[in-house]
Amino acid sequence: MRAPAPEAAVRGRVDVPLRFPDGYETVAEVVSFHGLVDGREHLALGLGGRGPGAVPLVRPHSECLTGDVLGSLRCDCGPQLREAAERITAAGGYLLYLRQEGRGIGLYDKLDAYALQDTGLDTYEANVALGHAPDERDYTVAAQMLLALGVSRLALLSNNPDKADQLDRLGLTVVEQVPTRVHLSSANSAYLSAKARNGHHVPDPLPRPARPPRAPGDHHAGRSAGG
């Protein structure tokens, strides 16, 4: 049953040039909000342009300090963020940066979950062992942000069917769910296998892990600072 998200409002907008570690660059219109139900400082990054009536490509991306900022190989969050920035810039839409560290359990508990994973638990089992649900994320704020931006129909860039289900219940129409690529390495294969077992649209069994990343200075895909 649908229950539309409470109303929020745009607080401010500012253009921010972005450059990723591989040299890819884009410009985001970073939008802040009033009235988000959890009181936290979530952001929408407007990327690219789209024609009148075009459906925006949207990715709700949960904050991951270890993956997004520190380059942790234990998850695929950093590569997914990088992929989303380029694909949304090309298509036109929004990257929602949601303060949902550790699938909603917080940074310190996520680090405790890492320690439990080192004893043999998977990423979901570790959250449960700490007294949490396997995934505590609520996408009400994502729906609020989109509606405040005038978005009621979207193409969802995600392998997670729960995101589509929640947004639909909150009054948005997901016209298409667009899969992200599988960013597999030897360090995150167990993590991605756990995702597949828990309903994410990830191949199971997984393909062979990717080779280690190239050293800085090697050829990079995407637009670089020099071109």
Task: Give yes or no: 181 in active site.
Answer: no
Is 205 among the domain residues? no
Range of the domain at 147: 9-100+137-197
Is 117 among the domain residues? no
For the cut 50, the answer to whether the pLDDT of residue 45 exceeds it is yes
For the cut 90, the answer to whether the pLDDT of residue 115 exceeds it is yes
CA atoms within 13 A on the CB side of 204: 13
One of 137, 138, 168, 223 is an active-site residue; which one? Answer: 137
Q: Output the average pLDDT for the chain.
A: 86
Is 2 among the domain residues? no
Render pLDDT for 146-173 as a digit per residue (tens, 0 to 9): 999 999 999 999 999 999 999 999 999 9
Is 209 among the domain residues? no
Total number of domains in the chain: 1
Is 33 among the domain residues? yes
Task: Give yes or no: 204 in active site.
Answer: no
pLDDT value for 36: 98
pLDDT value for 225: 35
Q: What angle do CA 6, 12, 14 make, to 5 degrees?
A: 135
**What is the average pLDDT across 121-143?**
94
Is 153 among the domain residues? yes
Is 121 among the domain residues? no
Q: Say if CB 169 and CB 138 are below 8 A apart.
A: no
Render pLDDT for 57-83 as a digit per residue (tens, 0 to 9): 999 999 999 999 999 998 889 999 999
Among 15-19, 64-68, 71-75, 126-130, the minimum mean pLDDT is found in 71-75
For the cut 90, the answer to whether the pLDDT of residue 142 exceeds it is yes
Residue 164 CA from chain centroid, whole number: 13
pLDDT value for 50: 83
CATH number, domain with residue 31: 3.40.50.10990
Is 210 among the domain residues? no
More confident residue, 198 or 74: 74
One of 135, 138, 197, 214 is an active-site residue; which one? Answer: 135
The string of DSSP codes covering 118-175 is: TTT--HHHHHHHTTS-S-----HHHHHHHHHTT--EEEEE-S-HHHHHHHHHTT-EEE
**What is the average pLDDT across 19-31?**
97
Q: How far is 44 from 191, CA to CA, in rounded Å?
A: 27
